A and B are shown apart, each in its own frame.
Chain A
Amino acid sequence: MINYPKKPSPSLLVLIGIPAGILFSVFSFLQIGFNFQDFKNNLSNRYLVTDPLFNPKWAWAWENSSDALVETIQIAILASIIGCAVALPLSFYASRATNLNKYSYFVYKSFLNLVRTIPDLFWAMIFTVAVGIGPFAGVLALLMFSLAIMGKLLSETIDSIDPGPMEAAKATGASHNQSVFTSALPQVLPNFTAYFLYIFELCIRASVILGLVGAGGVGRIIETQRIFLRFDRISPIIVLILVVVILIEQFSVWLRRKIL
């Protein structure tokens, strides 16, 4: 008889967590209300979508959406640049390594967390009401979006920097601000650039749907055609967007490789 080592007994978290997770999953599916009969009836509607979706009207899309597509790219460029520029000083305040004041650290960190909880389209809705319909609201919305992501990523990077250079700067008589500027900032600058490119990609993707709530960009064209179920006009626009997104991603991957 071989003596197998005994399997460790599962922890309390696993014992409670897995059944709870399964129960919650079943409960959510019930709440969503999947009705197979309704689904089957509705499935006959699918020609309403699929027929026009696969008969794209290229000429129409090219003529009407190219301006809006440029607007989308402009929104993403402007928002990501300003958002990341604002986030750069903020994330130094929101990191324990560079902000010695416990209270102001907490305030900045909570501010960034709060901005991050509100989804991008909610920001867009708020800003369209506040500053009026148009691309300016979109820029503000994506600005908050990129500010929040950059703040989180960068402040966590600053948390884990090598404290050695900062100590060395202080030993030569630098003040705290000087040591942050000369020793902490250069350490995170490559990461900052990489995050910036990543956020720019996210902004391009996010700016596509901003127009659905009236915040400018190509989403405006999609929204007006969507209401009339003109999927034959929407599908070529979506393909155009995909091409642009892929091109920009390739460019940003190339640039990131060049920088790092």
Chain B
Amino acid sequence: MNIPKQPLNQRIFKYSLTSLIVVSAIWSASGLEITLDRILNAPAQIATLVGAMFPLDLSSEAFERIIPKVFESLFIAWAGTVIGAIFSFPISFLAANNITIGSVNRVIKQILNGIRAFPELILAFVFLPITGLGPLTGTLAVGIHSIGTLGKLSSEVIEGIDEGPLESIKASGGSKINELTFGVIPQVMSTITSYWLYRFEINLRASAVLGVVGAGGVGQELINQLRFRDFPRAGTVLICTIVLVLTADTISAAIRNRIIKGKTIKS
């Protein structure tokens, strides 16, 4: 049978890529001293830990401690998203290359890239001595990181708009401000709003983690219970977090769907 072969340079590229992946995996595994022994033992060790979490600690005292922390994470994520949305919205117009002149939008874009480069956790512990242990620090960290990511995403949406409506507004004598309010915003608002909700889903996971450095939220609770070897309660914390994230994800995804796809007409 004659099966046509791939061109030679493509095959060389494919094989060199495969060998690069294999070599780097071996290099990493040997550098981290991961032996077969440890890998084979890991599932049993994990099973022991998960086994220790059941039965869960369902006492009312546990819930009285955990539930407020879980909601604190929710509030941090939401408030952080609101901060990100409010500040990123005007910034994204400045960062779009079809709204502002080249030099301005390039500078703003680089600033947004710079903000995005710092993980929330690092921002959180830099703010910690100034804003104190508590949810305020987490909110600021989440909010500032969100300005970077939302600014980038929104400016890309603005760059992809249809220029037609802008021209027609200009032709009918509209000002630059009219162009923005009647030409740009109606086109981009639905996508940008769905990005805000999407960012909220990501921020919820981030804010759950922030407690590790003491910036509020459920992470503090989990790390404490694991340190004190109170596994049933740690299991309860985990389950509560999962329930919160799943619920928020489902609601937010449904709203995003409705915003993007519009009302479904029942026939």
In Å, the complex CA distance between A25 and B242 comes to 22
Is A114 among interface residues, defined by CB-CB distance under 8 A?
Answer: yes
By size class, the interface of chain B is: 35 or more
Is A205 among interface residues, defined by CB-CB distance under 8 A?
Answer: yes
In Å, the complex CA distance between A206 and B240 comes to 23
What 1/0 mask marks residues of chain B from 65 to 88 whose CB sits below 8 Å from any chain A CB? Answer: 000000110111011001000000
What 1/0 mask marks residues of chain B from 126 to 153 whose CB sits below 8 Å from any chain A CB? Answer: 1001111011100100000000000000
Chain A residue contacts of B206, Cβ below 8 A: 119
Chain A residue contacts of B42, Cβ below 8 A: 130-131, 136, 140
Task: State whether B126 touches A231 (Cβ < 8 A).
Answer: yes
Chain A residue contacts of B48, Cβ below 8 A: 130
Chain A residue contacts of B258, Cβ below 8 A: 13
Known: A24-B78, A117-B245, A136-B38. A209 touches B129 (CB 8 A): no
Task: State whether A74 touches B32 (Cβ < 8 A).
Answer: yes
Known: A32-B76, A205-B119. A212 touches B212 (CB 8 A): yes
Kindly name the residue among A17, A53, A130, A229 whose own CB sees the greatest number of chain B CB atoms within 10 A. A130
Chain B residue contacts of A254, Cβ below 8 A: none
Is A34 among interface residues, defined by CB-CB distance under 8 A?
Answer: yes
What 1/0 mask marks residues of chain A from 116 to 127 whose CB sits below 8 Å from any chain B CB? Answer: 011111100111
In Å, the complex CA distance between A212 and B33 comes to 20
Task: State whether B119 touches A125 (Cβ < 8 A).
Answer: no
Is B249 among interface residues, defined by CB-CB distance under 8 A?
Answer: yes
* Beta-carbon nearest neighbor of A209 in chain B: B121
Known: A78-B32, A131-B38, A216-B32. A120 touches B126 (CB 8 A): no
Majority DSSP secondary structure for residues of A touching B:
helix
Task: State whether A39 touches B131 (Cβ < 8 A).
Answer: yes
Task: State whether A121 touches B32 (Cβ < 8 A).
Answer: no
Is B105 among interface residues, defined by CB-CB distance under 8 A?
Answer: no
Is A90 among interface residues, defined by CB-CB distance under 8 A?
Answer: no
Is B93 among interface residues, defined by CB-CB distance under 8 A?
Answer: no
Task: State whether A28 touches B34 (Cβ < 8 A).
Answer: no
Known: A43-B130, A81-B21, A130-B48. A121 touches B75 (CB 8 A): no
Task: State whether B28 touches A117 (Cβ < 8 A).
Answer: no
| Chain B residues numbered 36-59 whose CB sits less than 8 Å from any CB in chain A | 38, 41-42, 45-46, 48-49
Is A151 among interface residues, defined by CB-CB distance under 8 A?
Answer: no
9 new A-B contacts, CB < 8 A, other than A82-B25, A122-B241, are A31-B75, A32-B79, A48-B129, A74-B32, A117-B249, A119-B241, A226-B125, A226-B213, A245-B117
8 closest pairs, A vs B, by CB? A74-B28, A28-B75, A78-B28, A121-B209, A119-B205, A130-B49, A117-B245, A28-B79
12 contacts between A and B (CB under 8 A): A28-B79, A38-B132, A53-B126, A78-B34, A117-B241, A117-B249, A119-B219, A125-B226, A129-B226, A205-B119, A212-B212, A238-B122
